[in-house]
Amino acid sequence: MHRRDLLKSAVAAGVGVVSAGAPRAEAGGAGQNQRRSTGAADYETFDLGDFPLLSGEVLRSASLAYQTHGELSAARDNVIVYPTWYAGRHTSNASSIGEDLALDPSRYFIVVPDQFGNGLSSSPSNSPAPQDRMRFPLVHPYDNVRAQHRLLTERYGIDRIKLVVGFSMSGQQAFHWGALYPDMVERIAPICGSAKTAVHNFVFLEGIKAALTADCAWAGGDYTSPPVAGLRAFSRVYAGWYASQSFFREGLHDTGGGVEGFLAGAERSFGRFDANDLLAMLATWQAADISAHPRFGGDLAAALGAIRARAFVMPSRTDLYFPPEDNEIEVPQMPNAELRVIPSIRGHLAGGGGNPEDRRWVSDQLEELLAT
């Protein structure tokens, strides 16, 4: 089913899913590796060929963009996977990678895959018809994980992963990695993410989606110029969910421009993305559920129980859409997991590596996890 059809169903039913955008990898055979440059940083693409999705559809001529840090050891035993998150690209992860941090490229080979829909990997904005724009198929987190697995095994010959770490949507991917490949993944560290998108989280996403698609310029995703008013509304609604009430009460939002400056920053952040791409990633987020796989048949307890990896699950104490309560339910059902709550008033932002204090706290937990 195309995401356009899913969106129409959502309008009628009060629920929904959706699609993604940027430069397209050049054609190549499945399994081929090619180097690209964004101007901001170099990255590579791994061609997946026609890639079967969990939905039953096939993503045609699929490609996965990624960046690596450090060197793969001769034994191929120093691998960390750190995927991108919502409205993020591989450059977004850089602040959490460094020789003074747990994700140390002098010790580890760190692979940063760009998720489908972010404009670098296969996305609505860079896919040809008939899978362009809102016709881009629904991608599940398991599809991202399976594509990443192919990259690691086919391109690098990797059969063990020391750690899968992720923030927000990529934190959800960490859960999916642990459930699908329990014999390969030694540790996971989901940061501000859950094993299944909660109903409240889903409803929040419906709100920002409605703000974007209410713009008459949206044209069902077949716009001839960006739906600027919709993107602006989307960004401003989302901005109120980034952080906690205390974050705003204490003035941490004000870096010189007041409230308007904070809102303008959100507009710049999301304005880098094609509207269809934002909705494709949002659809993946809404679909996240580690039990939604034939292996588990919708049994969330069984899927959580399948994660044998040592796990530190790290929600932010003040996250408004991935609250600690969701992880408090999940962690006891995982055989080797601990809950480590980030003591921050920065809400969801606490897990993204942008603040030095929160970044150091998370890094310290990762150091401890990697030492076990």
Q: Determine the Cα–Cα distance for residues 146 and 308; give it in Å rounded to an integer.
A: 18
**Residue that has been written with the tokens 């004000």 in this structure:** 254
pLDDT on residue 17? 25
What is the predicted pLDDT for the residue at 32?
56
Q: Do the bridges between strand 58-69 and strand 109-113 make them parallel or antiparallel, or are there none, so unpaired?
A: antiparallel
- Side-chain-side CA neighbours of 110 within 13 Å: the count stands at 24
pLDDT value at residue 349: 98
Question: What's the pLDDT at 16?
Answer: 27
Residue 246's nearest CA partner among 368, 359, 344, 334 is 344
Nearest CA to 62 among 111, 156, 126, 155?
Answer: 126
Nearest to 155 by CA among 26, 25, 31, 27: 31
Whether residue 277 contacts residue 124, with contact meaning beta carbons closer than 8 Å, is answered with yes
Which of the residues 168, 235, 291, 316 is marked catalytic? 168
In angstroms, the CA 88 to CA 84 distance is 6
Domains of the chain are 3-201+281-371 (3.40.50.1820)
Q: Pick the catalytic residue from 319, 326, 344, 358.
A: 319
Q: Determine whether 253 is an active site residue.
A: no
Q: Is 165 helix (H, G, I), strand (E, B) or coil?
A: strand
Residue 38 confidence (pLDDT): 42
**Residue keyed to tokens 């699908």:** 180
Q: Is 319 a catalytic residue?
A: yes
**pLDDT at site 42:** 85
Tell me which of 176, 316, 348, 358 is the catalytic residue.
348
Residues 6 or more apart in contact with residue 5 via CB below 8 angstroms: none
pLDDT for 80 equals 99
Q: Is residue 124 within 8 Å of 132, Cβ to Cβ?
A: yes
- Beta-carbon neighbour count of residue 13 at 10 Å? 8
pTM: 0.90
Q: For residue 326, indicate whether it is catalytic.
A: no
Q: How far is CA 352 from the centre of its chain?
A: 11
Q: List the chain pLDDT tens, one digit each, 372 residues.
A: 455 444 433 333 332 222 222 222 222 345 655 544 444 448 999 999 999 999 999 999 999 999 999 999 999 999 999 999 999 999 999 999 999 999 999 999 999 999 999 999 999 999 999 999 999 999 999 999 999 999 999 999 999 999 999 999 999 999 999 999 999 999 999 999 999 999 999 999 999 999 999 999 999 999 999 999 999 999 999 999 999 999 999 999 999 999 999 999 999 999 999 999 999 999 999 999 999 999 999 999 999 999 999 999 999 999 999 999 999 999 999 999 999 999 999 999 999 999 999 999 999 999 999 999
Report whether 192 contacts 167 (CB < 8 A): yes
